[in-house]
């Protein structure tokens, strides 16, 4: 049987855990270019609530995960900063879906990503990255705040945890498959 390669996007605002997510789940070392946050970029990148963050991804988070003998997922993280918006259209080419990571301390950081995938009708799951301990909101509160449609799955994850990230991706693949005919998947 031919191998299916499935392209997925890992999106979300700056500091929501994209680089961590791709790194925890990938079988290959993530191809990531991190740049130390300098005084100059502090003014540009929004670090409210994540003052401990010391590096910022300037290029691309890329990872791979084999889920069965014949299905390989390729992960592409979006650059979080607004100044890289132009890259999103290119990254989304051929992607069957996206994980949108959400930090409940800064929900607004993930609004643009949700809008982006809704407008283009790209299936996505919103994944609340738990960061420090329990999430203070319940599912309905988060759904309302994010204005998520009924059919958009919302789940909890820990981006540092391989299994948790893998479960999130599998949920996304299931959600996307439910909407797309399998023939549209690219084959290598
Ligand atoms: N405690 C905790 N910290 C996390 C988690 N996910 C990411 N981080 C930390 O949060 C910061 C931002 O994560 P990063 O992956 O760089 O975010 P990105 O900007 O979306 O790529 C980093 O310092 C991570 O180590 C998590 O689930 N729990
Ligand atoms: Mg990053």
pLDDT digits (tens, 9 = 90+) for 19-35: 999 999 998 765 555 55
In ligand 1, the atom with minimum distance to the C-alpha of 101 is 20
Contacts of 13 (CB under 8 A, 6+ apart): 46, 80, 103, 106, 108, 109, 110, 111, 112, 113
pLDDT per residue over 40-57, tens digit each?
454 555 555 666 666 655
What's the gap in Å between 73 CA and the centre of ligand 2?
19
If one residue of 16, 17, 158 were mutated to test the ligand 1 pocket, choosing by the most ligand atoms within 8 A of its CB, it would be 17
pLDDT of 81: 65
Q: Where are the domains of the chain?
A: 4-182
Q: If the chain, 188 residues long, is cut into consecutive pieces of 10 residues, what is the mean pLDDT of each piece?
A: 86 92 85 53 55 61 88 88 78 95 92 94 95 81 94 94 95 90 58
Q: How far is the CA of 121 from the centre of ligand 2 (A)?
A: 24
Cβ distance 79 to 87 under 8 Å? yes
Ligand 1: residues within 6 Å at CB? Answer: 12, 14-20, 50, 52-53, 57, 80, 129-132, 158-160
Q: For ligand 1, what atom is nearest to the CA of residue 160? A: 27
Residue found under tokens 């959400």: 102
Under DSSP, is residue 184 helix (H, G, I), strand (E, B) or coil?
A: helix
Distance (Å) from CA 2 to ligand 2 centroid:
33
Q: Which atom of ligand 1 is nearest to the CA of 131?
A: 28
Termini Cα distance of the chain: 11
CATH class entry, domain 4-182:
alpha beta
Rounded distance between C-alpha atoms, residue 158 and residue 179, angstroms: 26
d(CA 98, CA 76): 9
């Amino acid at each position: 049987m031919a191998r299916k390669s499935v392209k997925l996007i890992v999106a979300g605002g700056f500091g929501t855990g994209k680089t961590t997510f791709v790194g925890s789940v990938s079988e290959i070392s993530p191809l990531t270019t991190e740049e130390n946050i300098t005084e100059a970029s502090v003014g540009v990148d929004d670090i409210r609530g994540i003052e401990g963050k010391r590096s910022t991804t300037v290029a691309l988070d890329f990872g791979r995960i084999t889920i069965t003998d014949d299905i390989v997922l390729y992960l592409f993280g979006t650059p979080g900063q607004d100044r890289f918006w132009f890259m999103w259209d290119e990254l989304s080419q051929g992607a069957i879906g996206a994980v949108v990571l959400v930090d409940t301390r800064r929900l607004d950081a993930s609004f643009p990503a949700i809008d982006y995938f809704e407008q283009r009708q790209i299936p996505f799951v919103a994944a609340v990255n738990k960061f420090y301990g329990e999430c203070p909101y319940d599912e309905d509160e988060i759904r309302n705040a994010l204005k998520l449609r009924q059919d958009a799955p919302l789940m909890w994850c820990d981006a540092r945890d391989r299994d948790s990230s893998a479960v999130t991706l599998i949920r996304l693949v299931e959600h996307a498959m439910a909407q797309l005919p399998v023939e549209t998947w690219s084959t290598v």
